[in-house]
Structure 1
């Protein structure tokens, strides 16, 4: 008989299985982490309701896609962004910031981006306020994966990031 732990994820309508060697070595901490990570949306939209949960998440690296939800490219871009999110599930929290919403301009300016540079990706590590941005013409799984992998390896794309003043921590 094969032991399996199944989790029906209501937010993304997906069923995830924990099986094999993983299930044999699981303890309450690992099971809690599996449930917590997999019960999150693949992509969470940034808004006043979700912001508290985002900053209280155990996942301390956040990737923000800043784009206009009304743009013709939105649906295809989100499909690709969600696909990339699966690659980093449990490591990076994927967030959508709708640039069409006036209140979100504060988030965009925090990352020193202008509306003319959107769509863009911004990655942020909450523990040390380290961040980087990548204006993109098109959201692709490859762009997202490369940007995230680079950040995880300590590579920053921003020019002169070492001489740049640390951005003061502000509530977004």
Structure 2
């Protein structure tokens, strides 16, 4: 699979900061290992395949014309490593035709932006466990995707140009409730905005925070970024709400940048009364 070249200054910045060799190596070496086993769903017709894809935030389907090829056991083994991905398999000719599959292919479907990403041709012929794992890691975008070495590439390869980030310490007592509200908001913006969680306590994320000209004392915060023109804004908050997200998004589209107010407040000396 070819990785698209960086399309913006911000993307270049993040790839340099986050995809440093030691960080990438750590990410690839880290695995939670097998947890509760999940099954691979056999997709025997088009309605079954459509329902399967619609029910999952991320679905991975092996479209195999030949079930004896080496890629099939590799695909089966991968199911244990990705508990948040739904795995399906089909060799039904009508199903393959419906998804424009002309040869053995592994396809990843994302609900967040309705993308179908295919691992096919030469990339498929040279597949091994490491390459398939990387394909899934890079492209598995959810309604709320945690920012990290692999997902950084997938986020910027999406056709959705506006990214809304929650910068917050995952160890804080308020984390669970705020992320729950953030997820609720994400459902309302499906297909329009990518929602991203950035753990502010991870050292490798410090430069992401600094890009938005924020200090840790100002977190948690919402930030928004548009890949087409590198425009961005930041909003320190005490708690996340759907109303906060909606107003922040609307203001950004209208060109009302809150960061200009924050910057002017910092420049204005405070006077004690």
Alpha-carbon deviation of 1:35?
A: 5.3
1:127 is matched with: 228
DSSP 3-state at the match of 1:9? coil
2:179 is matched with: 78
Question: CA 1:144 to 1:35, structure 2 compared with 1: closer, same or farther past 3 Å?
Answer: closer
Whole-angstrom CA distance in 2 between matches of 1:122 and 1:160: 14
Alpha-carbon deviation of 1:154?
A: 2.4
Question: CA 1:86 to 1:10, structure 2 compared with 1: closer, same or farther past 3 Å?
Answer: closer
1:37 is matched with: 113
Whole-angstrom CA distance in 2 between matches of 1:85 and 1:151: 16
1:153 to 234, 254, 271: 254
Question: CA 1:36 to 1:64, structure 2 compared with 1: closer, same or farther past 3 Å?
Answer: closer
1:98 is matched with: 199
Say which structure, 1 or 2, has more relative contact order (CA 8 Å, 6+ apart).
1
1:61 is matched with: 162
Whole-angstrom CA distance in 1 between matches of 2:172 and 2:233: 24
CA contact (8 A) 2:169 2:220 kept: yes
Give TM-score, length-normalised by structure 2: 0.47
CA contact (8 A) 1:65 1:97 kept: yes
1:9 to 29, 37, 56: 56
Question: CA 1:130 to 1:10, structure 2 compared with 1: closer, same or farther past 3 Å?
Answer: closer
CA contact (8 A) 1:9 1:38 kept: no
Whole-angstrom CA distance in 1 between matches of 2:154 and 2:142: 12
Q: Which has the larger radius of gyration?
A: 2
RMSD of aligned alpha carbons: 2.7
Q: Which runs of 5+ in 1 are unaligned?
A: 14-27, 162-172
Q: For each residue in 1:115-142, what CA deviation from the matched residue of structure 2 results, as whole angstroms up to 9, or x when unmatched?
A: 0000001100011000000000111111
Paired positions, count? 142
Q: Which runs of 5+ in 2 are unaligned?
A: 1-46, 59-83, 86-99, 101-108, 116-140, 263-273
Question: CA 1:36 to 1:122, structure 2 compared with 1: closer, same or farther past 3 Å?
Answer: closer
